Amino acid sequence: DAGVTQSPTHLIKTRGQQVTLRCSPKSGHDTVSWYQQALGQGPQFIFQYYEEEERQRGNFPDRFSGHQFPNYSSELNVNALLLGDSALYLCASSLMDRHEQYFGPGTRLTVT
Amino acid sequence: GNSVTQMEGPVTLSEEAFLTINCTYTATGYPSLFWYVQYPGEGLQLLLKATKADDKGSNKGFEATYRKETTSFHLEKGSVQVSDSAVYFCALSQGAQKLVFGQGTRLTINP
């Protein structure tokens, strides 16, 4: 049973560019959440998707957007990249009515 | 809003020592509480959880008890191993909503 997978593993972008990160949830899970983890910090919640809709959103600007597909996989898009967007981006999947979230290995984004 | 505070690290112990990592939280109602572990270069792994007061979560020799009266969820292990070296995060959620994490505690175990 495959766990949560994310792609790519690493990514280097230039300020002002746009990036798309991808996530496939654990088999059987219907909810995907995205987190940003800056170096040496705890993860910060970006947003959560369920039934292809954004259900919750953290304190992130509109430059951060997402999508969930009918197969429950998800994308995180970040526009107009800033140096401060450099971080590990974590995807977590869960069942909507359950508390446990299971994390993928993350995508390390570096903005230069 | 909800928040989680962990003891500041880093923490360095010798193998077979007793471990405690303190975690306290602020939340309305009765959140679910979690400990996650992050090994170098990896994502987060769920270590243990507790969903109501006085519940004890346990896994791989680690334990934590949900204390409503002290709003705490301290992580303990009786005898640590070198392989336990990692960063540990305490977290809470309410109603299967977003996870709110503490800042993490880096643990190093020396042989």
pLDDT tens for each residue of A28-64: 999 999 999 999 899 999 999 999 999 999 999 999 9
pLDDT at residue number B96:
63
Q: How far apart (Å, rounded) are the C-alpha atoms in residues A51 and A36?
A: 22
Q: How far apart (Å, rounded) are the C-alpha atoms in residues A16 and A8?
A: 19
Specify the DSSP class assigned to residue A25: P
Q: Given an 8 Å threshold on Cβ–Cβ distance, is B44 in contact with A99?
A: no
Name the percent of chain A lying above pLDDT 70: 99
- For residues A84 and A109, the answer to whether their CB atoms sit within 8 Å is no
Q: What is the pLDDT of residues B42-81, one digit of tens each?
A: 889 999 999 999 999 999 999 999 999 999 999 999 999 9
Task: Name the residue facing A42 among B51, B93, B102 (closest C-beta).
Answer: B102
Task: Name the residue facing B101 among A40, A42, A99 (closest C-beta).
Answer: A42
Chain B residues within 8 A of A101 when measuring between CB atoms: 46, 93, 99
> Quick one: pLDDT band at residue B39, thresholds 50, 70, 90?
very high
pLDDT at residue number A2:
75
Q: A103 - beta bridge partners?
A: A92
- Of the candidates A68, A38, A62, A37, the residue with the CA atom closest to the CA atom of residue A50: A68
> Quick one: pLDDT band at residue B21, thresholds 50, 70, 90?
very high
Q: Given an 8 Å threshold on Cβ–Cβ distance, is A103 in contact with B36?
A: yes
Chain A residues within 8 A of B105 when measuring between CB atoms: none
Task: Name the residue facing B98 among A58, A98, A100 (closest C-beta).
Answer: A58
Phi/psi at B97 (nearest 5 deg)? -95, -160
